[in-house]
């Protein structure tokens, strides 16, 4: 756990949205570390705050949102920057965005401007962060496109997003994210909108590229299968908080938090005896607006203890090395 090995550290990150209806605590005290060249999986159901966490890191939370806490970014030159203190519209953060930390999104169609060629959009990222001329940037972009497996990149570079298929578009997005050789890639559900066969292609590609570029990845998804496939460590989020955090093996083979346990059991698994009854979690994920006191999961928790869970918020306890749980069962 020495600092040299860390790339990014979140300390008590809070992102609240101040709405007319009340304060929406999308991210409420999230802390974790990402090591260099490792992949962290951020998993949770819709509304758990995983995407907002990613946006908070880059400081691109949409309008009524406010970010507090610390986001310590260990740059290559051993400088540490607290991203949370930067002006979200300032130059410093802009120099980091798309350069040292990059991001890819779920919907590759809407994430690319429909009116600009993919080359234009990739080159923009290059030209913003590297002092090279347009021709060089173009060559670089073609090279990147080639790397992400787009056939005939010198031709494709001048095409518009809608001319590409979903898989190719996502590849282009990845090319755009990687063209400045970032230290950290935040992938926000990059394969959710894709077919399984294409998803497999993209996952494979990302693994290869990680090896090649030696970057860290924060991989955000709701699909536990994908998490199992690609990550080294996993943080399970529920309603703005991390409820369990551990290595991939621990999470899948020794889940502790009732939520994680139930979640894993509720998913049908290929190759199991069919038509078995699934275990499910009662109720649904509520909106993180005006939440009850106590553990956020207790209304749905089968192991809920009256007078304990509904009064206090359980702390995140390290039960084992590399395995933390936020539950009174493991206090």
Partner 1 sequence: MSEDNIKALLEIKNLKKYFYIEKGFWKKIVGYIKAVDGINLYVSKGETLGLVGESGCGKTTLGRCILRAIEPTGGEVLFRTEEGITVDITQLDKEDLRLIRKDMQMIFQDPYSSLDPRMTVFDIIGEPIVINKIAEGKELKDRVKDLVKVVGLNVKHLKRYPHAFSGGQRQRIGIARALAVNPKFIVADEPVSALDVSVQAQILNLMQDLQKEFNLTYLFISHDLSVIEHISDRVAVMYVGKVVELADTEELFFRPKHPYTEALLSAVPKLDPRLRMERIILLGEVANPANPPPGCYFHPRCNYAKAICKNVEPEWQKVGPDHWATCHRAGELNLRGVT
Partner 2 sequence: MVIVLWAVSITAFVIIQLPPGDFLTSYIMKLEASGQIVDEAEIAALRKQYDLDSPIHLQYCKWMWKMLHGDFGKSFEWNRPVRDLIAERLPLTVTISIFTLIFTYLLAIPIGIYSAARQYSIGDYTFTVFGFIGLATPGFLFALILMFFFYRYFGISVGGLFSPQYQLADWSGAKFIDLLKHLPIPVLVIGMAGTAGLIRIMRGCLLDELRKQYVITARAKGVSERRLLFKYPVRVAINPIASTIGWLLPGIVSGQTIVAIVLDLPTVGPLLFRSLVNQDMYLAGSSIMILAFLTVIGTFISDILLVWLDPRIRYEKQAR
62 sits near partner 1 (criterion: CB under 8 A): no
Tell me how far, at minimum, the Cβ of 25 lies from partner 2, in Å: 21
Q: Burial-class residue 134 by CB neighbours within 10 Å (0-12, 13-18, 19+).
A: exposed
Beta-ladder partners of 6: 35
Out of partner 1, partner 2, none, what residue 229 binds, judged by CB under 5 to 8 A for its kind, is partner 1
- Please tell me the distance from the alpha carbon of residue 226 to that of residue 221, in angstroms, as a whole number: 8
Out of partner 2, partner 1, none, what residue 58 binds, judged by CB under 5 to 8 A for its kind, is partner 2
Given a contact cutoff of 8 angstroms between Cβ atoms, the answer to whether 62 and 42 are in contact is no
Q: Residue 79 or residue 282: which is nearer to partner 2 going by CB?
A: 79
198 sits near partner 1 (criterion: CB under 8 A): yes
Question: C-alpha angle with apex 239: 238 to 243, nearest 5 degrees?
Answer: 35
Complete DSSP assignment for 235-290: EEEETTEEEEEEEHHHHHHS--SHHHHHHHHHS--TTSPTTPPPP--SS-PPPSBS
Q: Residue 1 or residue 274: which is nearer to partner 1 going by CB?
A: 274
Tell me how far, at minimum, the Cβ of 115 lies from partner 2, in Å: 6
- Please tell me the distance from the alpha carbon of residue 13 to that of residue 33, in angstroms, as a whole number: 12
146 sits near partner 1 (criterion: CB under 8 A): no
Q: Which of 160, 252, 304, 330 binds partner 1 (CB under 8 A)?
A: 252
Subset of residues 152 to 181 that bind partner 1, contact rule: CB under 8 A: 165-168
Q: Which residues bind partner 2 (CB under 8 A)?
A: 55, 58, 60, 62, 89, 93-99, 102-103, 105, 107, 110-116, 121, 124-125, 128-129, 160, 162-163, 173, 176
């Amino acid at each position: 756990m020495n600092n040299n090995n860390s790339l990014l550290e979140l300390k008590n990150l809070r992102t609240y949205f101040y709405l007319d209806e009340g304060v929406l605590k999308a991210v409420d005290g999230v802390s974790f570390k990402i090591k260099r060249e490792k992949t962290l999986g951020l998993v949770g159901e819709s509304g758990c705050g995983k995407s907002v966490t990613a946006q908070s890191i880059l400081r691109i939370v949409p309008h009524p949102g406010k970010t507090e806490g610390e986001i310590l970014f260990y740059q290559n030159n051993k400088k540490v920057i607290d991203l949370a203190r930067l002006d979200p519209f300032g130059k410093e953060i802009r120099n980091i965005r798309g350069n040292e930390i990059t991001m890819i999104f779920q919907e590759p169609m809407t994430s690319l401007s429909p009116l600009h060629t993919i080359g234009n959009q990739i080159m923009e990222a290059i030209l913003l962060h590297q002092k090279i001329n347009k021709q060089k940037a173009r060559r670089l972009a073609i090279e990147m496109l080639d790397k992400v497996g787009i056939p005939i990149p010198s031709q494709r570079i001048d095409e518009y997003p809608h001319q590409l298929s979903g898989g190719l578009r996502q590849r282009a997005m990845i090319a755009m994210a990687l063209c400045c050789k970032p230290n950290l890639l935040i992938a926000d559900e990059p394969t959710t909108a894709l077919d399984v066969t294409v998803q497999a292609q993209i996952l494979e590609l990302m693994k290869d590229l990680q090896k090649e570029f030696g970057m860290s990845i924060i991989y955000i998804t709701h699909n536990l299968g994908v998490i199992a496939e690609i990550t080294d460590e996993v943080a399970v989020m529920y309603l703005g908080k991390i409820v369990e955090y551990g290595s991939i093996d621990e999470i899948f083979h020794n889940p502790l938090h009732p939520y994680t346990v139930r979640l894993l059991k509720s998913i049908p698994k290929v190759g199991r005896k069919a038509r078995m009854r699934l275990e499910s979690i009662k109720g649904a994920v509520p909106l993180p607006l005006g939440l009850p006191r106590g553990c956020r999961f207790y209304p749905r928790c089968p192991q809920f203890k009256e007078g304990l869970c509904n009064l206090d918020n359980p702390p995140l306890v390290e039960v084992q090395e590399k395995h933390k749980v936020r539950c009174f069962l493991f206090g």
